[in-house]
């Protein structure tokens, strides 16, 4: 996928994904050693985006399996296309001299099987990125099925047989830690903890989405993010929510958050009733803005250095 570490660094940078050297090195090693990458961390911290950025950097496709409670193997691997099989049987029945035995075998061939993301990922000539997103939503049985795939890169499907990978995909597993991912899967993977970014890094990310704004504004947004995350909110803001806030301020024609803007900005800053109440506390918002300005100045200084 990548010829060198520099290739990963330059590729990710070109996609607009802001990554530190730990992320780029781990991605490089995982792609080289065919190890899945397990990404764990809070919502909106860039886990899913990293998989897309790696695929874009490697000029390949993402096969995405979005996990949910109750997901089954049919959804992940695929199933026989029964309407197509039926149609074919009806057409064959009209012709003479059908060899039903070989026809039955043909009906269970690959052309009658509609592939889910796991099977599709094995069929690429050039490795793709297989994103198994929000793996913490699935049960143990499903996890065990994945283990087999990730160990031997084959899938055994009843009636269809064993499918061997044409190329080994780069597997990215993400989790928000609602359920603990089992140890066997952890052992096979490289593990990256994706936390909220530092203020300097967050300013860089905001700058990518609002490039026409000033550096002070980008640092200011990172400052408000850091201040809000220090407030023990029920739902501290994610990177994506800070990007939303920056874009909203641009639409409102301002680069500054003042204490008077509290009520108008609450729907963007507080996403639960408890958090709303916290931000409505007397003088609370003003002191938040004060902290944010301080953090913003620090981020600006750090990025200038």
Ligand X SMILES: Nc1ncnc2c1ncn2[C@@H]1O[C@H](COP(=O)(O)OP(=O)(O)OP(=O)(O)O)[C@@H](O)[C@H]1O
Interface map 28-57 toward Mg ion (x if CB under 5 A):
--------------------x---------
Q: Report in angstroms how near the CB of residue 197 gets to ligand X at its nearest.
A: 6
Residue of this chain nearest to ligand X (CB atom) = 46
237 near ligand X, judged by CB under 6 A: no
Residues 201, 149: Cα–Cα separation, whole Å: 36
236 near ligand X, judged by CB under 6 A: no
Residues 268, 209: Cα–Cα separation, whole Å: 17
Residues 177, 114: Cα–Cα separation, whole Å: 31
Query: What burial class does residue 126 get, using C-beta atoms within 10 Å of its C-beta: 0-12 exposed, 13-18 middle, 19+ buried?
Result: exposed
Question: In the set 8, 9, 18, 172, which binds ligand X (CB under 6 A)?
Answer: 18
* Of residues 206, 280, 275, the one with CA closest to residue 240: 206
Alpha-carbon distance values, 284 to 243, 277, 280 (Å): 23, 10, 7
**C-alpha count within 13 angstroms, C-beta hemisphere, residue 292:** 24
CB of 44 or CB of 220, closer to ligand X: 44
240 near ligand X, judged by CB under 6 A: yes
221 near ligand X, judged by CB under 6 A: no
Question: In the set 9, 11, 37, 47, which binds ligand X (CB under 6 A)?
Answer: 47
Q: Which residues pair with 281 in a beta bridge?
A: none
SS3 181: coil
243 near ligand X, judged by CB under 6 A: yes
Span from 39-47, 253-261, 277-285, 287-295 in contact with ligand X (CB under 6 A): 39-47
CB of 48 or CB of 120, closer to Mg ion: 48
Residue of this chain nearest to Mg ion (CB atom) = 48
What is the contact surface with ligand X in residues (CB under 6 A)?
Answer: 16-18, 43-49, 174, 176, 205, 239-240, 243
């Amino acid at each position: 996928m990548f010829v060198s570490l520099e290739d990963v660094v330059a590729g990710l940078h070109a996609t607009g994904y802001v990554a530190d050297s730990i992320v780029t090195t781990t991605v490089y090693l995982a792609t080289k050693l065919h190890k899945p990458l397990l990404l764990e961390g809070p919502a909106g911290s860039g886990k899913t985006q990293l998989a897309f950025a790696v695929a874009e950097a490697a000029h390949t496709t993402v096969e995405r399996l979005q996990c949910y409670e109750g997901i089954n193997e049919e959804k992940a691997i695929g199933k026989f296309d029964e309407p197509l099989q039926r149609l074919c049987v009806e057409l064959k029945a009209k012709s003479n001299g059908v060899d039903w035995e070989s026809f039955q075998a043909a009906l269970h061939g690959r052309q009658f099987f509609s592939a889910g993301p796991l099977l599709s990922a094995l069929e690429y000539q050039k490795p793709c990125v297989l994103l198994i997103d929000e793996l913490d939503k699935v049960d143990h049985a499903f996890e065990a099925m994945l283990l087999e795939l990730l160990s031997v890169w084959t899938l055994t499907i009843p009636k269809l047989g064993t499918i061997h990978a044409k190329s080994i995909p780069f597997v990215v597993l993400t989790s928000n830690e609602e359920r603990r991912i089992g140890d066997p899967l952890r052992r096979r993977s490289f593990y990256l903890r994706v936390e909220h970014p530092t203020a300097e890094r967050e300013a860089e990310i905001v700058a990518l989405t609002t490039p026409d704004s000033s550096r002070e504004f980008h640092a200011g947004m990172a400052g408000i993010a850091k201040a809000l995350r220090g407030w023990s909110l029920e739902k501290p803001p994610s990177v994506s929510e800070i990007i939303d806030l920056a874009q909203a301020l641009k639409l409102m024609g301002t680069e500054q958050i003042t204490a008077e803007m509290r009520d108008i900005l609450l729907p963007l800053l507080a996403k639960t009733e408890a958090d709303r109440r916290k931000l409505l506390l007397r003088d609370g918002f003003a002191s938040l803005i004060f902290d944010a300005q301080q953090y913003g100045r620090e981020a600006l200084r750090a990025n200038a250095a």
